[in-house]
Structure 1
């Protein structure tokens, strides 16, 4: 039959179907709007980027260049390549100061992190006067390290110190904490830990408060004891925050100078003569800025390697 035959119905012509393009995610603004927001955000962070470039990135490049010269206070200099680094490898004082810095870090970091974590756990469980105790524990952090070092130097004093007076009551003193080569680094580490643990405590406390309560409640229902909850629930969930605290405290430990300068002046017999102390003496006492810059670059590399090791061991999944 033909199309016009009576009694035959003609099939309707199908309408063209529009093929949809790639859908934009719900809530995502158009590309021009995103570009405009990016430019506005860059405008807001531009002052900080400028300050970082001028006062951090620029001096780092300058120090790297100075480490390849024999620059002196008079302004005279000549390019000597890697001679400063070769000299550094043969410098016994460099190796001894590096060993002092590493040993101090081993004392300071576990003490500070342990004190911060323990205090944060106590404050997390305490509801009564939590804000008051948080302020009291944070107060030493906002004080001057020089003031803290002077106070603790008096506390450690052999004759008139508060600590030796307490030991005398127990018939255990006197102990020369700052004059004994074996005790000077733990004593300075304790001072620095008292001074700075409040910052890490607040960071860890914020991390504890961000852990969902339902997770701990589920562990209690399953019969987990307090230690098991801490070991298998709290610490794994706190690992990103704990990694941040460990890196920050380790960087601070490698840069120790103020407390040693005030409390012991690097003694006794350079038992508290850190790498930054050597850098200070080289640059500002002997005005050997090229060698001091090489020391600074080596310190930067040591801190970087140590941070990467911590990242590998603790923060690899975060």
Structure 2
């Protein structure tokens, strides 16, 4: 006992404190990993694992029923020569090019109108946001009947003024714009809320100083509001673009890719290849091409953000 106590006394107090600190830090780290382990397990089981398996499928000739065979990058080579994929890529680009600017501009306009308090403002905000929480399938079905050629409400309303409405979803010149329109109305409320929050955080002192200098409302918006909400514009642009590139529900319900493949976007072509042509390998390759396109767009947007996004010091 005497020898043991002597050894304990020889240990420096700072070393004991350091060891106790390391043990406490190790226990805290272990507890942290323990609490986030369900999320990590779920990510690897339900996200990362299927992603790796899908990439493996894209390297194979993989029919839905039957044996698969490894073919390397042959599916990716065929995509470049696939006219249907090229047409679906163009349709996806046109859909995104039409939806993203229109959605962001309309959301910003609505936020500018609804940022100030007036009677019934809560009702207006709720009415604009309700479509966001509405099921896309239900929304698309309703609009499909509204845009029907003869019995649809839109054409019946136009007929009251002697205007013969077109076959909105059956004409190659109006099908894609119609889907873009109903998609904008469906999701504009979410971006409106984001812009509304951003605009309400702009210091009011800046507007008061601008008024003293005689600035017009347009100049106050372009010189004060717009620069200060660029981080929100950047965020909504990325989210809206990614959502537009992944459009599927309204296309499936309203047009099934028609007429004459004018609304066949990439995701619909992936579904058609997998569950109509039963070619799981080729559809997985198309899916990864879309994934790489979105990844490249996100990285590019993130790199160039400092050129136009305002950061508050």
Give the number of the structure whose residues are more often helix, by fraction. Answer: 2
Confirm whether residue 277 of structure 1 aligns to residue 272 of structure 2. no
> Which shows bigger deviation, 173-182 or 93-102?
173-182
Pick closer, same or farther for the CA change 1:96–1:172 going to 2, 3 Å: same
Give the match for residue 200 of structure 2: 209
> Which shows bigger deviation, 164-173 or 258-267?
164-173
Confirm whether residue 198 of structure 1 aligns to residue 171 of structure 2. no
Give the match for residue 163 of structure 1: 154
How far off its partner does 1:277 sit? 0.9
Give the match for residue 79 of structure 2: 88
Alpha-carbon distance in structure 2 between the residues aligned to 1:282 and 1:171: 44
Q: Report matched runs for 1:60-75 at 5 Å.
A: 60-74=51-65
Confirm whether residue 304 of structure 1 aligns to residue 295 of structure 2. yes
Confirm whether residue 53 of structure 1 aligns to residue 53 of structure 2. no
Give the match for residue 104 of structure 1: 95
How far off its partner does 1:312 sit? 4.5
**CA contact 1:257–1:277 (8 Å) conserved in 2:** yes
How far off its partner does 1:207 sit? 1.3
Instruction: Report SS of the residue matched to 2:55.
Output: helix
Alpha-carbon distance in structure 1 between the residues aligned to 2:72 and 2:248: 29
User: What TM-score, normalized by structure 2, do the two folds share?
Assistant: 0.85
Confirm whether residue 261 of structure 1 aligns to residue 261 of structure 2. no
Q: Report matched runs for 1:1-318 at 5 Å.
A: 39-74=30-65, 76-314=67-305, 316=307, 317=309
How far off its partner does 1:43 sit? 3.9
How far off its partner does 1:240 sit? 0.7
Long gaps (5+) in structure 1: 1-29
Give the match for residue 18 of structure 2: none
How far off its partner does 1:301 sit? 1.2
> Which shows bigger deviation, 306-315 or 30-39?
30-39
User: What TM-score, normalized by structure 1, do the two folds share?
Assistant: 0.84
Instruction: Report SS of the residue matched to 2:202.
Output: coil
> Which shows bigger deviation, 55-64 or 45-54?
45-54
Long gaps (5+) in structure 2: 1-20
Looking at CA atoms only, which structure, 1 or 2, has the larger radius of gyration? 1
Pick closer, same or farther for the CA change 1:33–1:114 going to 2, 3 Å: farther
Instruction: Report SS of the residue matched to 2:129.
Output: helix
